[in-house]
Structure 1
Amino acid sequence: MKKLISEQLVDYLERRGVEHVFGLCGHTVIAMLDPLKDAKLKFISVRHEQLAAHAADAYARLTKKASVVLCHLGPGLTNAATGVANASLDSIPMVVIAGDVPSYYYGKHPHQEVNMHADGAQYEIYRPFVKRAWRIDKPEQFPEILDKAFRLAESGRPGPVLISVPMDMFSRELDTSHFERTYHDNPVTIRPALSKEAAQAYAKMLIEAKNPVIHVGGQVLISQASEELKALVEFLEIPVSRTLMGQGALSDLHPLNVGVTGFWGCDFVHDITRNADVIFGVGTRFAEADSSSWYNDVTFNAEKTKFIQVDLEPAEIGRNYPVALGAVADPKQALKAILEAAKELKPEGIQRPELKKAIAENKAAFKASNVEISNDGRFPMTPQRILKDVREVFPEDGIIATDVGWNKNGVSQQFDITQPDTILHPGGLATMGFGPAAVLGAKLAAPDKKVITLVGDGGFGANPSVLATAVEYNIPVVWVIMNNNAFGTIAGLEASHYNHTFGTVFRKPDGSSYSVNWAEIAVGYGVKSSRISSADEFKAVFKEALESNEPYLIDVPMENIPVPTDGIWNINDIYSPKDNVAEGKLIGGQAARSKHVATE
């Protein structure tokens, strides 16, 4: 029996358990919209393709399965590129199905084709940031490529893949026998585990270390390894440091969680990590922001620390620090195996009461240092006051999507996340505009949870049409706009080096401050909203928004206060060169580090 490929594709997605497809119309995908109209799965139409990719990104983070984006060729493909690249750098599984020019018009410059360097090759625009890019050249290829695409997106280090589909292929008929293979292909790929011998080697190094540290990244969350991490940490009482993307892997309130490292890290955290004799990196790349631009003896010290690593991606093992042990394995299975080995080697476990006391005292001191500014009644509000009020009202199992700036950096440093998958950060690409769209996908993936975004006015202004999608599909999320009339983080960075904020602060031609009234904009979209007029007003309005069970926007005027940090970021030394720094390296060891910190 023959059926249209578009119809068989929708059937395939439904059989894989896909419940939502995110995308935007275009003439190359109309043939797909027709069967989607009556499908069991739901097509979520947005007003810009980047929003579709961000929403799909968040959806996949929570479902742990590849999300699906449907987009048009040319500008549709390029508009979605930023969101797809964001998913790629954060290791999020995604299948992008993109319409393309008719297969018989390659190279003739049909409408919206991009072919400057090769005919029929615009799908290669995605090659630098997807795991694989396919083009359907024959209808019979479709079933096999679909299976390959989903398997590749979800296995190994997860990430996006692209299937470019000439528009005529959607409209061709294909015998259903070609899709028969998809009924027999098991979609689950078993991830690699540690051998017993390898697990014993890891356990032995951790047990024998005098000052071990476990440094966790986002892959712990992707692999759903939080319980295994907690069990190992508590058995050997090893302190845990984390990356931005690792937030939530272990409760920020856990007595062995010391906090975020790198540029947004604090001295106490770095005292522990740079003085470790063994650091166990689990699902992390030891990236620049988390490693203080790899300056030695700031966050980490490769001269006196032995690094051991477990990661799903072979290329990450030993990328930035040489390793004494490295293994390609699933963090969940690896942590479980290492704990079993540790219990055999040291059945009584290890207790470090003095370390736990020091961690508790440091956390208490850090919180105490923020009490005054967190309770400050000034208006515009302090970002610390906003975070305090949100934390007092927002449920611990609620989901927060951040964006770029104070809302991400401050949350990572100062906002306690206690449950896995309740904080969604745009990490590797750090995309402005992620949060406002991510909440749509998050809410669709977790309809019973409260879902909000904390986002700057710059980030929200990048694409406010998310409001339309929320109204059209009745997605009850809350946007909290931390409005400082600026691209605040960059404004602070520029001011610290050049003593001005040109190009970063929003102003009218006469030089006066310019602020969009986002509450009024929201009303135009049909979204309930409020613009805060005093610090004491915010908490009650936020509570009302959460309880409204409808899309709600809160515009919160906020003072632009830099996030405090003891870490180092090389860009500061590029803008303001220091005599004890040369090409990203500190000269002179500990004394040089102290001099560098003192001059920040």
Structure 2
Amino acid sequence: MGKLISNLLVKYLEDRGVEHIFGLCGHTNIAFLSELEKSSTIKFVNVRHEQIAAHAADGYARAKKQTAVLLTHVGPGMTNAATGVANAALDCIPMVVIAGDIPRHYYGKHPHQEVNLHADATQYEIYRPFVKRAWRVDSAHLFPEILEKAFQLAESGTPGPVLISVPMDIFSTEIEEDWFERQKHHTKSLQKPSIDDATAEKIIYTLLDAKSPVVYAGGGVILADAAEELTEFVNHFDLPVAHSLMGKGAVADDNPLVLGMTGFWGTEFINRKTREADYIFGLGTRFAEADSSSWENEYTFDFPKTKLIQIDIEASEIGRNYPVEIGVVADLKQALTVLNRVAKRIAPSGRQNEALKQEITINKKAFKDSNKKFEEDNCFPMQPQRILAEVREVLPHDAFITTDVGWNKNGVGQQFDIYTPGTIFTPGGFATMGFGAPAALGVKVAHPDRVVVSLVGDGGFGQNPALLATAAEENIPVIWVIMNNFAFGTIAGLQKAHYDTTLGTLFVKDGDPYSPDFAGIARAFGIEGIKIEKAEEFKPALEKAIASNKPVVIDVAMLNNPVPTAGHWNIMDIYSPDRKIHHVSTN
């Protein structure tokens, strides 16, 4: 006797260990939702907008280190979620998107909410440019096999989202349970590629012979859960570590070998160290534009004068932007495990470089000292440096941080120490404004026992304030610190510097700075909202919010002073080819 696919799908997800599904209802997916209500192990996290669900699922996957499941609806539901799914794709976050679709017997009829201007029954094509694969389920008995393939593909190689577009009549179709049962015989995780001892020896001897090598850590280190192995490797040889924006925290910032973030928002010292290195050992990095100062040799990296060793799980990333002397396709956790074992055989005592560590310490102190006057400034609106410094002072070392786009992302990457690897989540590849606030929901759902703070701008928080409804309904105690500069601040600083205007970038009403009352909005959703009125109030408010273990919005006005930059971004040359200028303050 057959069973409903909606029922068997819930059972499949339960057996796979799925504990949360993020999403929003629609007439195409409520048959599945109705079965999900009967589950004793899966909780549905309901939202008011599909982009919120996608970002929350993204944050959940990063924090849980597990493939997230997103449920959405045909047409506008799917397009609403697209930005969040694309953000996950560009940051290599595993996600299975289950989208309701039109019923199969209406193909060609152009039914309600179908996207059909150029072709019939092809809504899954919308996601094709950014997901690893998009399936449409046309035969009910193939659905179990597609599910199994979807999870496997999302998690293997370079992780990322996949889409399963499910015609709504499929959910209500009965099939024999055997079609699902046979998938239990398939492995639920693939063995990941490693490196052999000969390759490890070649890398280690090359680094030992180098005069000024630098390890360059990207977000792939975090994705591979290889931070512990990387730390062991660099500590054994006293190798300095620079990192990309996404690689922040791959080695804890209080490690004396950590240089910091490179590129446009890197310091002169960090960029000089990578530019003058004779070897860069790149791990899980794309050498993205901002991290590499638009790939211009005089600022951050000087390839091919500097030689590159690169390890990545994805072959197409090796040599994408720079020529490679030694290129290895491997899982970083596996590769570093071998490298550590071989390193201890080749050089049991390792290598020490106290002069290097002292140089790094002195330069870190000099940079921190240069910020002291801002961190101690009692002005209001507050200095952004003081906001970051007090957040860091109050938070436990294992607290999770999500950022958005703008000062919060750039400033955190440059100035905010991460002590526990894998506790900072930021939108890197897509740089999506609106990511940080809903992503924090997913992070907290994944780790209810850990403090989660979202550092976001007023522009980013304003994208989807309806996330507060989910926080209230589900009692998800995230703390949102809105660094409110009454602007799309980073773009405003660019526009003012290069064009001497701020049209469309500052929020103004009747000639005065304007902002919604975010604290009042929070209270309207049934969440505590705190509006900071002077600098001395901020730190106690944050401490109280953490102690309350409730969702809290803290709205703090800040000055729109630019993050200091020592690198380069080619857009400056496009704006002002005859001037050397970056951002300016719009205060």
Interval of TM-score (by shorter of Structure 1 and Structure 2): over 0.9
Q: 2:414 maps to what in 1?
A: 413
1:495 and 2:530 aligned:
no
Q: 1:88 maps to what in 2?
A: 89
Q: 1:14 maps to what in 2?
A: 14
C-alpha contact 1:212 1:279 (8 A) present in aligned 2:
yes
Map residues 363-442 of structure 1 onto 2, 5 A cutoff.
Answer: 363-442=364-443
Q: 1:564 maps to what in 2?
A: 564
Calculate the TM-score normalised by the size of structure 2.
0.98
CA distance in 2, matches of 1:13, 1:97: 12
Q: SS of the residue aligned with 1:151?
A: helix
Gaps of 5+ in 2: none
CA distance in 1, matches of 2:351, 2:530: 52
Shift of 1:38: 1.8
The Cα offsets for residues 407-439 of structure 1, whole Å up to 9 and x where unpaired, read as 110001000001012111111101111111011
CA distance in 2, matches of 1:229, 1:268: 22
The Cα offsets for residues 495-528 of structure 1, whole Å up to 9 and x where unpaired, read as 11011111100011x3222111100111111111
Shift of 1:348: 3.0
C-alpha contact 2:20 2:45 (8 A) present in aligned 1:
yes
C-alpha contact 1:203 1:339 (8 A) present in aligned 2:
no
Map residues 325-364 of structure 1 onto 2, 5 A cutoff.
Answer: 325-364=326-365
CA distance in 1, matches of 2:106, 2:139: 15
Aligned pairs, number: 584
CA distance in 2, matches of 1:395, 1:344: 38
Q: SS of the residue aligned with 1:554?
A: strand
CA distance in 2, matches of 1:470, 1:319: 41
The Cα offsets for residues 105-164 of structure 1, whole Å up to 9 and x where unpaired, read as 112111111122222111110001000000000000111111100010011000000000
Q: 1:97 maps to what in 2?
A: 98
C-alpha contact 2:572 2:582 (8 A) present in aligned 1:
no
CA distance in 1, matches of 2:307, 2:515: 51
C-alpha contact 1:566 1:597 (8 A) present in aligned 2:
no
CA distance in 2, matches of 1:121, 1:109: 11
1:31 and 2:20 aligned:
no
CA distance in 2, matches of 1:597, 1:215: 26
CA RMSD of aligned residues (A): 1.5
1:140 and 2:141 aligned:
yes
Map residues 120-159 of structure 1 onto 2, 5 A cutoff.
Answer: 120-159=121-160
Map residues 461-472 of structure 1 onto 2, 5 A cutoff.
Answer: 461-472=462-473
The Cα offsets for residues 309-334 of structure 1, whole Å up to 9 and x where unpaired, read as 10011110100001001111011111
C-alpha contact 1:207 1:342 (8 A) present in aligned 2:
no
CA distance in 1, matches of 2:74, 2:468: 25
C-alpha contact 1:306 1:324 (8 A) present in aligned 2:
yes
Name the aligned partner's letter for residue 55 of structure 1: A
Shift of 1:596: 8.8
CA distance in 1, matches of 2:161, 2:405: 22
The Cα offsets for residues 259-306 of structure 1, whole Å up to 9 and x where unpaired, read as 000111011001110011110110000010110000013100013111
The Cα offsets for residues 194-225 of structure 1, whole Å up to 9 and x where unpaired, read as 11111111111111111111100111011111
1:282 and 2:298 aligned:
no
Shift of 1:598: 14
Name the aligned partner's letter for residue 516 of structure 1: P
Q: For the structure 1 residues 597 and 103, does the alpha-carbon distance in structure 2 shift closer, same or farther, using more than 3 Å as the test?
A: closer
Name the aligned partner's letter for residue 257 of structure 2: L
Q: 1:448 maps to what in 2?
A: 449
Shift of 1:190: 1.2
CA distance in 2, matches of 1:474, 1:513: 33
Map residues 481-520 of structure 1 onto 2, 5 A cutoff.
Answer: 481-508=482-509, 510-520=510-520
CA distance in 2, matches of 1:46, 1:204: 53
C-alpha contact 2:496 2:583 (8 A) present in aligned 1:
no
The Cα offsets for residues 216-267 of structure 1, whole Å up to 9 and x where unpaired, read as 0111011111111011101111100001111111011110000000111011
Q: 2:188 maps to what in 1?
A: 187
CA distance in 2, matches of 1:14, 1:598: 51
The Cα offsets for residues 425-464 of structure 1, whole Å up to 9 and x where unpaired, read as 1111011111110111000100100111010000000110
CA distance in 1, matches of 2:191, 2:288: 27
Name the aligned partner's letter for residue 554 of structure 1: I
Q: 1:255 maps to what in 2?
A: 256
CA distance in 2, matches of 1:363, 1:276: 19
Shift of 1:189: 1.1
Name the aligned partner's letter for residue 390 of structure 1: V
Q: For the structure 1 residues 71 and 203, does the alpha-carbon distance in structure 2 shift closer, same or farther, using more than 3 Å as the test?
A: same
State, as a whole percentage, how many aligned pairs show the same letter: 60
Name the aligned partner's letter for residue 182 of structure 1: Q
Name the aligned partner's letter for residue 187 of structure 1: K
Shift of 1:597: 9.5
Map residues 511-590 of structure 1 onto 2, 5 A cutoff.
Answer: 511-578=511-578
Map residues 288-307 of structure 1 onto 2, 5 A cutoff.
Answer: 288-307=289-308
C-alpha contact 2:51 2:84 (8 A) present in aligned 1:
yes
CA distance in 2, matches of 1:144, 1:373: 58
CA distance in 2, matches of 1:245, 1:434: 14
CA distance in 2, matches of 1:345, 1:552: 53
CA distance in 2, matches of 1:345, 1:274: 28
CA distance in 2, matches of 1:320, 1:548: 48
C-alpha contact 2:64 2:443 (8 A) present in aligned 1:
no
Moved more, 28-37 or 510-519: 510-519
CA distance in 1, matches of 2:581, 2:525: 49
C-alpha contact 2:493 2:562 (8 A) present in aligned 1:
yes
C-alpha contact 1:374 1:385 (8 A) present in aligned 2:
yes
Q: 2:320 maps to what in 1?
A: 319
Name the aligned partner's letter for residue 371 of structure 2: N
The Cα offsets for residues 375-418 of structure 1, whole Å up to 9 and x where unpaired, read as 11000011011111111111111111000111110001000001
Name the aligned partner's letter for residue 124 of structure 2: Y
Q: 1:119 maps to what in 2?
A: 120
Q: SS of the residue aligned with 2:508?
A: coil
C-alpha contact 2:458 2:483 (8 A) present in aligned 1:
yes
Q: 2:170 maps to what in 1?
A: 169
CA distance in 2, matches of 1:476, 1:598: 36
Name the aligned partner's letter for residue 233 of structure 1: V
CA distance in 2, matches of 1:342, 1:117: 58
Name the aligned partner's letter for residue 573 of structure 2: D
CA distance in 1, matches of 2:20, 2:64: 11
Shift of 1:570: 0.7
C-alpha contact 2:312 2:329 (8 A) present in aligned 1:
yes
Q: 2:235 maps to what in 1?
A: 234
Map residues 17-96 of structure 1 onto 2, 5 A cutoff.
Answer: 17-40=17-40, 41-96=42-97
CA distance in 2, matches of 1:389, 1:426: 23
Shift of 1:340: 2.1
Q: SS of the residue aligned with 2:74?
A: coil
Shift of 1:341: 2.2
